Structure 1
């Protein structure tokens, strides 16, 4: 049985940018910072902004449809990643999601607790965690091999002790392009009672993240890196989310999740 052949002409027809007169004669070699959106996404956004951009979940039809479309996005994306729908949160970007998440951990961690970050990360997945040092949290750095850019898991295990509560590392480094053994690392961290936060921004454009298979407690990536709208997606496991302090409106504090509420 022969392997299927990708129909490039069909793929190109799904991206209106290829037919845009002002872009003719140019070759788009942009990095992961952004990408032109495909037509089905544009069509959905156009419909939403034309007829459903109201407060969702109300009694009238436009509001009902708005809520249903938001729920559909959550249901489909969570199924794609193998997680429960209520374990998926949306935010303005992965940078913003990570910042809010770090604030929640900053309230939960005690002075003297330790977290581990890497120097293979994007600043957005490292900077917010490093700032917790101002709250008395010990920040340790899992460093790359300066010759190869490789993150050696053996070096990580040497850093783990009873103080370490969280390890933040990339699925795929946007600096050197290395894909890290996420499932292996997350399994061992869980066995040690340490939470894992995986930045999937640079990996998600190249393969659908099976978060259930990876075993990460937290997994983040940006929809606009996968030809979607400019939003950040964050999976956070239910038990961990229930434990972290609420970062939304005070009257949402009884809800289980840090960032579950729709943005107002």
Structure 2
């Protein structure tokens, strides 16, 4: 297969920020700040605020169109991640989604259950799990090599036993940039009956995660870091989602 050349002029033409006079001469490398959106995203947002900002799934045309647009968003995201539509949940941000998820796990776990976290995470995505200690959950830290920043899968073996209910770790570290072997880690956790929660915020902007291939139970990332609106995407295995207590309606 012959690789097609990357047409940078064509790509740049899809992003109005490149034509914004106030941004001329600037390049932004602040990944935490997200990314400028494409014209397609801006067009959909403009249409929604102009025509469909109503209660969706009603009987009148604008409401039906709003519901159809929501369904399309779930369907397209599910296709991108290679899962069913019932996996996909949108929220305000990955930090917000993780916070709500942590609250749900607090009602699902029992005192004495253990959760594995790492010190390779962003605090905003690891702190929600560490706070479960206030509910009697035992927190076990999978530590990186202090010299290389490497998260050694062999070190995880010493932390796993029948008390571990969840293993929470990053797909890629936003500190050292290491891409972790998600499938290998998932298999280790599964052998002890633990669920896996993968923070994909720093990986999703650089690769398209295939969740069925990775095998994880929960995967989170931020749409605004992949040229989308300021929302977080949380994919949850439906069988697990049905066990977790509701956090809203």
Q: TM-score range by the shorter chain?
A: over 0.9
**1-structure distance, mates of 2:173, 2:157:** 20
Mapping for residues 31-110 of structure 1, pairs under 5 Å: 31-110=31-110
Find the counterpart in structure 2 of residue 143 from structure 1. Answer: 143
**1-structure distance, mates of 2:192, 2:247:** 27
**2-structure distance, mates of 1:175, 1:232:** 20
Per-residue CA deviations over 1:86-127 (Å, capped at 9, x if unaligned) read 111000000010001010111111111110100000112210
- Following superposition, the deviation at residue 181 of structure 1 comes to 0.2
- Scaled by the length of structure 2, the TM-score of the pair is 0.98
**2-structure distance, mates of 1:239, 1:28:** 40
Find the counterpart in structure 2 of residue 30 from structure 1. Answer: 30
Find the counterpart in structure 1 of residue 121 from structure 2. Answer: 121
In the alignment, structure 2 segments of 5+ residues that lack a partner are none
**1-structure distance, mates of 2:121, 2:134:** 20
Per-residue CA deviations over 1:235-262 (Å, capped at 9, x if unaligned) read 110111111111112xxxxxxxxxxxxx
**1-structure distance, mates of 2:155, 2:220:** 24
Alignment partner of 1:140: what SS? strand
- Following superposition, the deviation at residue 210 of structure 1 comes to 0.6
In the alignment, structure 1 segments of 5+ residues that lack a partner are 250-264
Find the counterpart in structure 2 of residue 209 from structure 1. Answer: 209
Contact 1:87 1:238 in 2 (8 A): yes
- Following superposition, the deviation at residue 28 of structure 1 comes to 2.4
Contact 1:32 1:202 in 2 (8 A): no
- Report how many aligned residue pairs link the two structures: 249
Find the counterpart in structure 1 of residue 18 from structure 2. Answer: 18
Find the counterpart in structure 2 of residue 258 from structure 1. Answer: none
- Scaled by the length of structure 1, the TM-score of the pair is 0.92
**2-structure distance, mates of 1:135, 1:203:** 31
**2-structure distance, mates of 1:88, 1:229:** 16
Find the counterpart in structure 2 of residue 159 from structure 1. Answer: 159
Find the counterpart in structure 1 of residue 177 from structure 2. Answer: 177
Alignment partner of 1:243: what SS? coil
**Hey, which bits of structure 1, 4+ residues long, moved more than 4 A?**
none
- Following superposition, the deviation at residue 30 of structure 1 comes to 2.4
